[in-house]
Structures are given as structure tokens and as C-alpha cells.
């Protein structure tokens, strides 16, 4: 893509000598569940402002604006509401042009940073298009659906320059939606392991993500993430790439990125990666005989007996109890409006109408079928092909140079049919003790004393109950803090990135690459030697990293 020529933003991205400080302003692209999660976090817990939204769905866009931008009784100002991010891009380019030609205060305000919360397959295109604006970026995970696209993002944001073709330094803050790094629970766990060394050297780690029986059916059997692409993405990438990142954050990354950059310390990469997984449950051979030829829950004679009945999950389990939020608002984005204005009966009728929607294999174009979710479809007659049970294993060698980190192993298990929903759990074994953790507690057993110390991490308040244990708020807060520090002229880009975000663009891309390596190991039923694999992938991509 040819780089557009655009005027500079209102405030330089690097250190400024200006003594005038103001709150940072952000555009949210995509007003779905993730866009709303980050907007809530910014609005409630940071000095930043959600200034604009780009969202094609009229109801989602209006609700988002009323909740976070112009208020329940207000109306959007110029430059605050867009039906498409491309419309915003054109508007922002023109706004900068006008601002460079006039200083009379009549030009509307722009934004300092962007939250990219669109569908996964659109991330790379959005980033390529807005990169010339040199705005700060937080992109929802996954970064992209192929390794090649991840590398494209890297080279777009840190293109090589000079005769050595070395990547230039970052000129804007970049963050990725790996929310597990930012929850109070996980930050404490990492401190105990890497800084306090409460169990000595880490020998092995076991980490499990219990996806949740109906959650998996919602998102990965009927929903947007039910099909893998030829590029290699699947449920490991779309659901659990931040779990893989979490493991690498604990076992590869230096305890402090800022200190590591000063000392020139590198990450401790695994020697080998292997994986095994299956589509165990959600396939036609598992369909109950009583269901017959039914392909939707609404028309199924076995519906009342099926745990995965869409009617039971969305109507009985949620809407019937007055819950109009996730996942019901994913099925019907305007359900809350219908419920409030017309009552429960109208809302149920609206929901059932959506659950009655169906497709015909061999009659409709498969591209049209794949392009949208089908929340009323029988889970045993769906077109899903992603794994519902997968294990990834890692092995490290001793590190030869300082800081002389030792050999270790790790395993990750993503499993769908569980009572717990995304409440991670695990164990870490060390040379002097053992840690057991779930989403709320961390128990440390010391070999020498025989004593157990339990750290209770407070549950997030109700308004943050679905925020990845506070991770959404932590991630958004750190990103806004980094942007604000640069905007105020307090820190340069590299220091703000290290101190607040704690992860570089390079580390984010490499973390995704490990997921693609694991998927390749699963498909080929082999062990991937990470160093050789990564070197070859970079060579094949014909570029530098």
C-alpha cells in the first residue's frame, strides 16, 4: 500500500516542550463488545477521553456515543461519529490539512490514539491505512490471522531504514489486546515468580483455559470464530493467543522490560514446540438421534433436552432472567432497546426471530454462509472446524549467557466442555516450592518450611465482572498512561512503551508467531524447533525483523 501524505497530528508523538497539558483523546473503531469494554475502562478509570467512534451498525454506534462520548441527551459534534473507519480516515486527513493552514481555532479536534476493535481479519488493513497518521494504536487480539500479515504489521509500523535495513525506532505507542498481562492477579503472580522468586528457579508450568461449555458453542461453533482459514488460524489463535502470550511472559520475557532494554537483555526462547488437538464434540456423528434432520434449535424435537439449545442458552438462561447484555446483545445488537421500549415479550419475539435464521448447504454460496454467525444453528450441524480440545507443550534449554536462565517445560490446555468460563488455573513447579493458582487465589507451598501462604486477589467489582479479571481495565489504563506520558512530554516513546505497556511490537508479533508454530506442529504431527522454524519463516517472508 502506498503511504499517504498527511499533515502532522495536533501534538507531536515524541517529547514536547509545551507546558500546556490536556487529556488524551481516542477513536474507537468498532463498537462491539471489545470496543465497549475498552471504552468503559478509559471512561471510568483513566484521564483519557473517548472522543470519536467509527461503527457501521446504527444502533451500536448511537448507543456507544450516548454511553461514552456525547451523553444520553447530547448529539455528536463534528468529527465524533463515523459509519466507517475509512470515512474517519478521510475526515482526519482533511482536518489535518485545514489545521496546518489555519490557527484560528475553528478546526475541530482530532485524536491522539486509536483502539482497533474490528473483526480479526480487518486489523492489518486498518493498521496499514492509518499508519501514516502516526497515531498511537491499541489493537484487539489477535493482531492478524496469518504470520505473514503479522510481519506486515511489524514492517508497516517499524519499517527498515538506512543501509543496514535495521528497523527504525517506534514513533508511536503500540499495544495489543493481550489482557492477561494486565490483571491484578497475573501481575502479582509474575512478581512472585520473577522478582520475589518465591519458588526459586521455575522448573515447569501447567496452564489451563476452561473455555466454558456454552461459551465455546456461542463463539466457536455458531459464531464469528468457528472456521479456521488456510493461513493457519483457529481457536488457539482467536481464543487463546493471550494464554500462549501469558506463558511466554512468565517464562521468556525479562522481569522488567525497561531494565532489560538498559542492559541489553534478551528473551529466553523455547527450544521446541509441539501440539495435539481435535474437534471432539461438535460434529454430526455426535448429534442425538431424536434430533433427526433438524438443523436449527427452534425446529428441533430434542431442543428441550439438549444442553446446547440456543433457545435455552439465549432466551431461558439470559433474556428470560432480564439479561440483555453479552451474549444476547451479540445475537441481537438492539435487544436492550427493544426490551426497554416494547417489553419482554417483544424482546423474546425479536430474539426467536434471529434464532430461526438458517442456511442451506449446497444452495447458498458458502462464502455467504461463512460471512456471518448463525446463533440458532444446531451445534452438531454447524460448519465449524476449529479445535475444541488442544494441548501445547514447550521445552527450553539452559541459557548460556547472563542472566543464565535454566531449562524448563510448560504445557497449555484449552478445553471447551467445562463448568468454569475462562477462569484460568494452573501450577508452577520450582526448585524451592510450588505455586497453584486460579483466577482469584495464588497458593505458595515452600519445601523448606512445609508452609503454605495464600494470596487472595480481590474479585473485580460487578461492573468489571466480565473484564478478564480486571485485565481490560489494566490494559486500557496502561495504554492511556503511556500515551499521556508522551503527550505531556514526560517520557519518550521507547521508555513509555517499556514502562507502561511492558511489551514491544516485536514481542507481540513473536508471541503470535509461537501460536502459528504450535498450529503447524499440530497439523503436521511433529515437533517444531523454534529457532530453526523462526529463522526459516523470516527468510521465506523476504524481509527483516
292: left (phi over 0), alpha (psi -120 to 50) or beta: left
Spell out the residues 6+ positions from residue 315 whose beta carbon is closer than 8 angstroms to its own.
348, 351, 352, 355
CA distance 157 to 505: 9
pLDDT for 466: 59
pTM above 0.95, yes or no: no
If you search the block for the grid coordinates 538498559, which residue do you land on?
262
Please calculate the CA angle 537-538-539 and round it to the nearest 5 degrees: 90
Q: How many CA atoms within 13 Å lie on the side-chain side of 117?
A: 23
- The Cα 81–Cα 63 span in angstroms is 11
CATH number (3.40.50.720, 3.40.50.2000, 3.30.70.940, 3.90.1150.10) of 25-176 reads 3.40.50.720
- Cα–Cα separations (whole angstroms), residue 283 to 29, 221, 278, 381, 382: 35, 10, 11, 7, 7
Domain 179-213+226-281+386-468+504-540: assigned CATH number? 3.30.360.10
Compute CA 318 distance to the chain's CA centroid, rounded to the nearest angstrom: 25
SS3 assignment, position 445: strand
What per-residue confidence (pLDDT) applies to 464? 54
The whole-angstrom separation of Cα 274 and Cα 15 is 44
Helices (H), 82-179: 85-101, 123-130, 147-157
What residue spans of 114-181 are helical by DSSP H?
Answer: 123-130, 147-157
Q: Which residues contact 159 (CB under 8 A, 6 or more apart)?
A: 167, 168
b/e per residue 58-80 (b: at least 16 CB within 10 A): ebbbbbbbebbbbeeeeebeebb
Q: In 3-state terms, what secondary structure has residue 376? A: coil
Q: Are 198 and 229 in contact (CB under 8 A)?
A: no
The backbone torsions φ and ψ at residue 127, rounded to the nearest 5 degrees and listed phi first, read -65, -45
Q: What are phi and psi for residue 190, nearest 5 degrees?
A: -65, -40
Regions of the chain where pLDDT drops below 50: 1-4, 11-19
Residues of the chain with CATH 3.30.360.10: 179-213+226-281+386-468+504-540
- Closest C-alpha to 204, from 504, 533, 433, 443: 433
> What DSSP state is assigned to residue 398?
P
> Does an H or E element contain 512, and which?
helix 505-524
Among the listed residues 422, 502, 543, the one whose alpha carbon sits nearest the alpha carbon of residue 176 = 502
Instruction: Say what the pLDDT of residue 14 is.
Output: 39
Instruction: Judge residue 22's burial from the number of C-beta atoms within 10 Å of its C-beta, 0-12 exposed, 13-18 middle, 19 or more buried.
Output: middle
What is the distance between the alpha carbons of residues 394 and 530, in angstroms, rounded to a whole number? 10
Distance CA 148, CA 229 (A): 13
| DSSP-assigned letter for residue 296 | B
* Residue spans in the chain of domains classed CATH 3.40.50.720: 25-176
Report the distance separating Cα 1 and Cα 7, nearest Å: 18
Residues whose CB falls within 8 Å of the CB of residue 370, separated by 6 or more in sequence, listed in order: 227, 383
- For position 405, what pLDDT does the model report? 80
Amino acid at each position: 500500500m502506498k503511504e499517504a501524505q498527511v499533515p502532522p497530528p495536533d501534538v507531536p508523538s515524541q517529547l514536547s516542550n509545551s507546558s500546556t497539558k490536556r487529556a488524551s483523546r481516542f477513536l474507537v473503531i468498532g463498537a462491539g463488545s471489545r470496543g465497549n469494554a475498552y471504552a468503559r475502562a478509559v471512561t471510568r478509570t483513566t484521564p483519557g477521553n473517548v472522543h470519536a467512534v467509527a461503527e457501521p451498525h446504527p444502533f451500536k454506534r448511537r448507543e456507544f456515543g450516548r454511553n461514552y462520548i456525547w451523553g444520553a441527551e447530547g448529539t455528536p459534534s463534528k468529527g465524533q461519529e463515523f459509519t466507517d473507519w475509512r470515512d474517519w480516515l478521510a475526515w482526519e486527513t482533511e482536518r489535518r490539512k485545514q489545521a496546518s493552514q489555519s490557527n484560528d481555532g475553528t478546526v475541530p479536534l482530532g485524536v491522539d490514539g486509536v483502539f482497533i476493535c474490528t473483526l480479526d481479519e480487518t486489523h492489518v488493513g486498518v493498521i496499514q491505512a492509518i499508519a501514516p497518521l502516526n497515531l498511537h494504536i491499541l489493537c484487539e487480539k489477535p493482531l492478524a490471522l496469518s504470520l505473514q500479515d503479522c510481519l506486515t504489521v511489524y514492517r508497516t509500523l517499524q519499517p527498515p531504514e538506512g543501509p543496514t535495513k535495521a528497523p527504525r525506532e517506534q514513533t508511536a505507542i503500540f499495544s495489543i489486546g493481550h489482557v492477561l498481562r494486565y490483571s491484578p492477579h497475573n501481575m502479582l503472580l509474575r512478581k512472585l515468580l520473577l522478582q520475589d522468586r518465591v519458588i526459586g528457579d521455575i522448573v515447569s508450568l501447567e496452564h489451563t483455559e476452561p473455555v466454558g461449555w456454552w461459551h465455546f458453542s456461542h463463539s466457536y461453533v455458531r459464531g464469528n470464530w468457528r472456521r479456521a482459514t488456510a493461513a493457519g488460524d483457529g481457536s488457539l489463535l482467536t481464543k487463546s493467543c493471550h494464554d500462549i502470550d501469558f506463558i511466554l511472559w512468565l517464562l521468556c520475557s525479562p522481569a522488567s522490560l525497561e531494565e532489560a532494554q538498559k542492559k541489553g537483555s534478551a528473551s529466553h526462547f523455547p527450544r521446541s514446540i509441539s501440539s495435539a488437538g481435535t474437534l471432539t464434540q461438535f460434529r454430526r456423528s455426535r448429534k442425538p438421534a431424536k434430533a433427526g434432520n433438524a438443523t436449527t434449535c427452534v425446529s428441533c424435537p430434542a431442543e428441550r433436552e439438549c444442553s446446547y439449545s440456543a433457545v435455552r442458552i439465549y432466551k431461558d438462561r439470559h433474556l428470560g432472567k432480564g439479561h440483555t447484555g453479552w451474549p444476547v446483545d451479540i445475537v441481537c445488537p438492539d435487544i436492550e432497546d427493544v426490551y426497554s421500549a416494547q417489553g419482554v415479550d417483544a424482546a423474546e419475539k425479536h430474539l426467536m426471530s434471529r434464532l430461526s435464521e438458517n442456511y442451506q448447504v449446497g444452495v447458498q454460496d458458502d462464502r455467504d454462509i461463512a460471512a456471518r454467525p448463525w446463533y440458532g444453528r444446531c451445534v452438531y450441524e454447524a460448519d465449524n472446524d476449529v479445535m475444541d480440545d488442544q494441548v501445547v507443550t514447550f521445552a527450553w534449554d539452559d541459557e548460556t549467557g547472563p542472566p543464565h536462565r535454566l531449562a524448563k517445560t510448560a504445557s497449555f490446555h484449552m478445553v471447551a466442555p467445562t463448568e468454569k468460563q475462562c477462569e484460568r488455573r494452573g501450577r508452577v513447579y520450582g526448585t524451592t516450592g510450588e505455586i497453584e493458582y486460579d483466577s482469584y487465589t495464588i497458593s505458595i507451598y515452600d519445601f523448606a518450611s512445609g508452609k503454605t501462604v495464600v494470596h487472595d486477589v480481590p474479585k473485580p467489582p460487578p461492573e468489571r465482572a466480565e473484564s478478564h479479571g480486571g485485565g481490560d481495565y489494566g490494559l486500557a489504563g496502561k495504554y492511556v498512561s503511556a500515551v499521556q506520558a508522551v503527550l505531556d512530554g514526560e517520557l519518550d516513546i521507547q521508555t513509555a512503551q517499556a514502562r507502561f505497556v511492558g511489551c514491544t511490537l516485536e514481542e507481540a508479533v513473536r508471541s503470535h508467531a509461537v501460536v502459528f508454530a504450535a498450529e503447524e506442529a499440530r497439523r503436521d504431527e511433529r515437533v517444531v524447533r523454534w529457532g530453526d522454524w523462526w529463522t526459516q519463516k523470516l527468510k521465506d517472508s523476504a524481509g527483516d525483523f
